[in-house]
Each structure stands twice: as C-alpha cells, then as structure tokens.
C-alpha cells in the first residue's frame, strides 16, 4: 500500500490510506464550543456556462435572432418575471424561486477581457482579475487569520479530490472527495484488524513527521466512522442526481448536519464548454443544467432547518457569445449569470442592470456586457452573510462598496463576527 502525504497551504490531505489530520478529529468538539456559524458555499461551473440559456432573456428579440437553433422556445421557458425565465432543465429550482429563496444576478462577471479558461478561472477564484500572482483564494481570505481555539479547524472544506484555488491560503482547508472512503480497506473485523496493524506501525515509527501524522490520521478515521457516511439517508426524501455535483452536495449536507463546524465550502462541476451541439431544451447543456438544478434542490431540501444558516453562490469564469456559431454551439464570451440560494436571500428576482442584446450594446460586438462585477456579488455575500468587515482584505485592490450591492440578501450579519 502506498502512503503519500501532501502538505499544501496549511491544508493536509493524506491520500492512499484515506486520512485527515488531528484538527479534523477535534472539529466536533470545536463546533460545540463555537456554536453554529453561518455557512457560505461556492459552486463553480467550470468551462464557461451559457448564462443566456440558463436564465433566458426570452423577452429580448435579439436573443432569438442570434440563436436560430439553440434558443429556448418561449413556450418552453420557465417564466420568472415576464422577461427572464429559467431553462426548463432547471425546473427543480422553480419552487425555491417561488419561495423567494433563490435569486439570480444577470450580466455579472469579471472586468478582465480574457477569454482563456485557465486565466479567467484563476482570476475568479483568487478574486483578483488581471493578476496572476495571487496565491490565495477569496473564500480562504474571507475566513481571516483568527485561529481561536473555539473555532472549528474544519472551517473550510473542498468537496473534491483537491483544494481548489478558491480555498487556498493561510487558513486551514481540507479536500474530501469521498466520506465513505476514509478508511484503509475492506469492511468488518478484517478491516478493523488491518486498521490496528497500520496504527501500530505508525506508532512504532521513529520518524518525527510520520508518527504524529499517523496518529492524526487514525483519530480522524474514528471520527469519520462515527458519521457512517455509507448509510446516510437524506432528509425529506431529497433525491440527489447520480452525478459528481450531486454526490458532492450530498456529502456536504451530511457534514453540515453533523455539526463538524463547516463555515465555508467549495464544489465545482465541469463540462460547460459547449462549442459544438450545445442543444436547447435537450442536449449537452440541458443535461448539465438538470444535474446542477436537481443537486441544488436536493441539497436545499436535505438541509431542512439548517437552510437559514446557509448561502450558496454559483459562478462560472465567463459567459458565451450571444450568437450561436456554425457548429450549433457558442464560443467564449464575457458576462454571465450567478445564482444566490439561501435562507437570507431576498429571492424571486433577477438582479442586475440588463444591458440588452442589440449589436451596439454588446461587448466587443459579440458578448453580453458586464454590468455587475462578480466581486460586488461575492462582497455582498461575504459581508452580509459571514459578517466580514474587511472586504479589502478579501478582495485586494478592489474597493467594495455597499452602494453597488444588489440587495439579494435580506439582512446583514453582525460586522466582524
């Protein structure tokens, strides 16, 4: 059995034997000391989702003029306000919209003009458009440097195989790809004996790093076994899709309800770069949206009374061209749409200044123009939900201003909490 240890930006994940450090094992205790905190969840749609087919401006004639084969027919759109509507594959989100727990912010994005996936993702995850040298993520910086013992060390969780840039930084963060896999191998008495053998091996080691790391790992294993992830039953009949985003949000719901002290979390979902055969009501985009919408709806239902503590923000690195291309897809664009889902959300509304899709109003003559900087959206979430006062520390070089907040949060958290 290979045993590999990775140390990165204060986040330690042990791969091969599936283990986590001591501070994770202590997190249940820490959360009882600190009490429940507000939780901010960032969901990243990697590949540049077609925001115009996500929240459809079906009241805009230019939308249909530019998309003869991939536009969502008016009669198929899930109406939101008489001008905008949801893609029908997002029908699972309609009840959350009616209950005013879901809002959209349209024509939002980065002011940087890049059309590179890699650069744009880095800029959005770091929160510093145009600056490649930023080594930490905005969500990690939002946690600050407070290491008070009452704060759970499992404050920052990436639901996936690695810690994404969004959560990299000085505050400890951990990647969890599969809660059920946090054991050595097998089941039953034989597996327990194997665990004991490896624990004894680590205890006997004279290596100054290996021995404490092994002890940390097995203490964490004990805590995670207590979660019994394999037998977890979502509440209220919540049905997660059998897709990576469904499984990630399912496990995140379990962690939140287990009171292990999660304060920020990150999950990404790939597959949004639809240059060819994007489809309209059916097809590649529809399939991706159905998985995302069903996963978010199940996650929300599963949280139950914990909904009031949680805010989910979705984002993608940039949008797509207004006009479809010759391959019945769309190419790299500029502005996009973001969703906000939460107990604090003043939902049932599409926020943002709509610039229009007439040719003279397009960015560089081809794209939906950005009228809301994504950092204003994230600043409103960080300040209003997490109660972080130092927005300059979260988004260096950017002057966040509450006058530019869209008002998608009902109230404000206690500043500096």
For residues 17 and 11, the answer to whether their CB atoms sit within 8 Å is: no
Q: Report the distance separating Cα 41 and Cα 387, nearest Å.
A: 15
Q: What is the greatest pairwise CA distance in the chain?
A: 73
Q: Report the distance separating Cα 173 and Cα 159, nearest Å.
A: 11
Token pair for 360 = 């003279």
Instruction: Measure the CA dihedral 323/90/284/116, to 10°.
Output: 60
pLDDT of res. 173:
85
For residues 25 and 34, the answer to whether their CB atoms sit within 8 Å is: no
Helices (H) and strands (E) in the chain, counts: 12, 14
pLDDT of res. 222:
52
pLDDT category at 261 given cuts 50, 70, 90 is: confident
Encode pLDDT of 118-141 as tens digits.
Answer: 999 999 999 999 999 999 999 999
From 129-143, 226-240, 287-301, 326-340, the region with the lowest mean pLDDT = 226-240
pLDDT of res. 415:
35
**Percentage, residues of the chain above pLDDT 90:** 70
Choose among 99, 73, 100, 97: nearest CA to 87: 73
Q: What mean pLDDT is predicted for residues 283-295? A: 98
User: Under CATH, to which class is 4-404 assigned?
Assistant: alpha beta
pLDDT category at 35 given cuts 50, 70, 90 is: low
pLDDT of res. 18:
34
- Read off the pTM: 0.85
CA-derived radius of gyration, the chain: 22
Q: What mean pLDDT is predicted for residues 406-414? A: 75
């Amino acid at each position: 059995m290979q045993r590999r240890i990775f140390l990165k930006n204060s986040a330690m994940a042990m791969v091969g034997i599936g283990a986590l450090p001591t501070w994770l094992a202590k997190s249940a205790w820490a959360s009882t000391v600190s009490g429940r905190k507000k939780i901010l969840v960032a969901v990243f749609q990697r590949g540049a989702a077609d925001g115009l087919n996500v929240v459809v401006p079906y009241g805009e004639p230019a939308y249909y003029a530019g998309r003869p084969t991939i536009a969502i027919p008016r009669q198929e759109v899930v109406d939101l306000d008489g001008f905008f509507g949801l893609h029908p594959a997002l029908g699972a989100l309609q009840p959350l919209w009616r209950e005013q727990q879901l809002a959209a912010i349209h024509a939002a994005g980065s002011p940087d003009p890049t059309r590179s996936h890699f650069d744009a993702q880095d800029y959005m995850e770091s929160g510093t458009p145009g600056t490649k040298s930023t080594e930490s993520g905005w969500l990690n910086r939002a946690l600050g440097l407070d290491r008070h013992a009452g704060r759970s060390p499992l404050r920052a969780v990436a639901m996936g195989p690695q810690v994404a840039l969004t959560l990299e930084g000085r505050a400890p963060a951990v990647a969890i790809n599969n809660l059920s896999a946090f054991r050595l191998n097998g089941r039953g008495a034989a597996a327990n004996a194997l665990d004991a053998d490896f624990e004894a091996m680590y205890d006997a080691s004279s290596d100054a790093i290996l021995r404490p790391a092994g002890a940390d790992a097995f203490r964490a294993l004990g805590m995670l076994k207590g979660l019994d992830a394999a037998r977890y039953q979502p509440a209220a009949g919540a049905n997660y899709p059998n897709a990576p985003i469904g499984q990630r949000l399912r496990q995140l719901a379990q962690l939140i309800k287990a009171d292990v002290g999660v304060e920020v979390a990150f999950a990404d979902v790939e597959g949004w770069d639809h240059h060819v055969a994007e489809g309209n009501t059916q097809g590649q985009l529809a399939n991706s949206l159905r998985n995302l919408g069903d996963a978010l709806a199940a996650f929300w239902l599963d949280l139950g009374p914990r909904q009031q503590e949680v805010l989910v923000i979705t984002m993608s690195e940039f949008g797509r061209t207004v006009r479809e291309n010759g391959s019945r897809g769309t190419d790299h664009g500029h502005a996009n749409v973001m969703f906000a889902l939460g107990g604090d959300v003043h939902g049932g509304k599409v926020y943002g200044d709509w610039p229009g899709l007439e040719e003279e109003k397009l960015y560089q003559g081809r794209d939906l123009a950005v009228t809301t900087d994504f950092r204003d959206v994230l600043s409103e979430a960080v300040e209003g939900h997490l109660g972080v006062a130092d927005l300059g520390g979260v988004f260096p070089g950017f002057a966040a201003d509450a006058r530019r907040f869209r008002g998608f949060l009902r109230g404000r958290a206690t500043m500096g909490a």
